[in-house]
Amino acid sequence: MSTLDLSQEHPETSPIVRIDRDGTRRVWQLGGGARRALAVQDEAIALGGGWGDDYGCFSLGRLGEGDAVEDLAELGIRCSRSR
């Protein structure tokens, strides 16, 4: 089994990796920090939560033709940290 080390490739971004059944890997870079939740349908992507100021941030975008998440837009929905 091979490993995919992305730690030095783009240290200021978070990778989103798709691994197909045949083992083919595709990587997109998400600038602006990591998210706690990820949902993907075809090329559409939804991201939720984060850490610190991004705790209640929700965004929508799409997986681009290159290696970037494109058209990423914040939904303006914020959740409180109370539990």
What are the tens digits of pLDDT across the range 5-26? 544 454 466 788 889 899 999 9
Task: Give CA–CA dist 18/39, Å, rounded.
Answer: 12
Strands 13-19 and 69-74: unpaired
**What does the domain layout of the chain look like in residue ranges?**
13-74
pLDDT category at 33 given cuts 50, 70, 90 is low
**Percent of the chain scored above 90 by pLDDT?**
17
Q: Which tokens hold the place of 32?
A: 């602006």
Task: Give CA–CA dist 13/29, Å, rounded.
Answer: 6
Residue 25 has a pLDDT of 92
Residue 82 has a pLDDT of 42
**Percent of the chain scored above 70 by pLDDT?**
72
